[in-house]
Amino acid sequence: MMRLQFDEQLDLLNRELITMGALCENAIALSAKALVEGTPALAGDVCDLSAQIDNKEREIESMCLKLLLQRQPVAKDLRVVSSALKMVTDMARIGDQSADIAEIIRLANIRATEDMQIIQDMSTAVIKMVTDSIDAFVKKDGQMARAVIDYDDVVDDFFNQVKKILVDLFSQPETDGEYAIDLLMIAKYFERIGDHAVNVAKWVLFSLTGKKEG
């Protein structure tokens, strides 16, 4: 009976993590949309999503602590719950950084240009990483988690492309320096979101193997 109740609570934990992950995906996608379409008004919606993500973080942390204190889980379950506790911290940072992107767009009134496509592609890549890292946890799929870690190279490549574009921009005398710096900051935040997705994937592997990868 105790085992059944614990498994039911683990299932609920999985559902809550999926919900939090969906909020993260929406925040990333909306911040990218605000950038590409040049609509800073969307920034407020991203901030609302970030607040929802923070609330979900607190709910999941409370759920995990109750599981640890009330159920006295065995070693494998302990790894799962403790990994979920670590994961939500990274997921909350994803929400924060999406809001940071939106805030830059709002304050700088960034306009849509052809330079945005590479950053939009970058945002699509990090959304995939976030989605797959959470799926890997729910499905207990170590191979998927490792694929997320490897896919970070794709995001890093996008970031390097953005830097190259901006170097070319700076070489042009009519370039708006603040605009170029804002784009660089936005790309850097997307890169950091990818890093947080990697962290989530590493905690998935820990939950499965008991070993924390570097």
Domain contains 121: yes
34-38, 144-148, 156-160, 169-173: least confident range: 169-173
Return d(Cα 210, Cα 202) in angstroms, integer.
11
79-83, 106-110, 112-116, 200-204: least confident range: 112-116
- Can you tell me the mean pLDDT for 201-208? 95
Question: Is the pLDDT confidence value at 112 over 70?
Answer: no
DSSP state of 210: S
- Can you tell me the mean pLDDT for 71-86? 86
In tens, the pLDDT along 121-151 reads 999 999 999 999 999 999 999 999 999 999 9
Domain contains 214: no
pLDDT of residue 19: 96
Mean pLDDT of the chain: 89
4-13, 21-30, 170-179, 204-213: least confident range: 170-179
Q: In the chain, what percentage of residues exceed pLDDT 90?
A: 61
| Overall domain count for the chain | 1
CATH number at residue 34: 1.20.58.220
Domain contains 57: yes
pLDDT of residue 171: 77
Cα separations in angstroms, 98 against 8, 83, 127, 136, 182: 32, 23, 11, 22, 14
In tens, the pLDDT along 86-100 reads 999 999 999 999 999
pLDDT of residue 37: 80
Spacing of C-alpha 63 from chain mean position: 21
pLDDT of residue 115: 63
Domain contains 129: yes
Of residues 48 and 169, more confidence is placed in 48
Domain contains 197: yes
Q: What is the pTM of this model?
A: 0.91
pLDDT of residue 134: 94
Domain contains 114: yes
Of residues 105 and 18, more confidence is placed in 18
Question: Is the pLDDT confidence value at 46 over 90?
Answer: yes
Three-state DSSP class for 56? helix
pLDDT of residue 2: 66
Q: Do residues 91 and 53 lie in contact, with contact meaning Cβ atoms separated by under 8 Å?
A: yes
DSSP state of 172: S
pLDDT of residue 44: 85
Q: Which residues constitute the domain of residue 113?
A: 2-209
Question: Is the pLDDT confidence value at 170 over 60?
Answer: yes
Listed as own residue / partner, the contacts of 73-79 with beta carbons closer than 8 Å and 24 or more positions apart are 73/6, 75/210, 77/6, 77/10, 79/206, 79/207, 79/208, 79/210
Among 114, 136, 124, residue whose Cα is nearest residue 183: 114
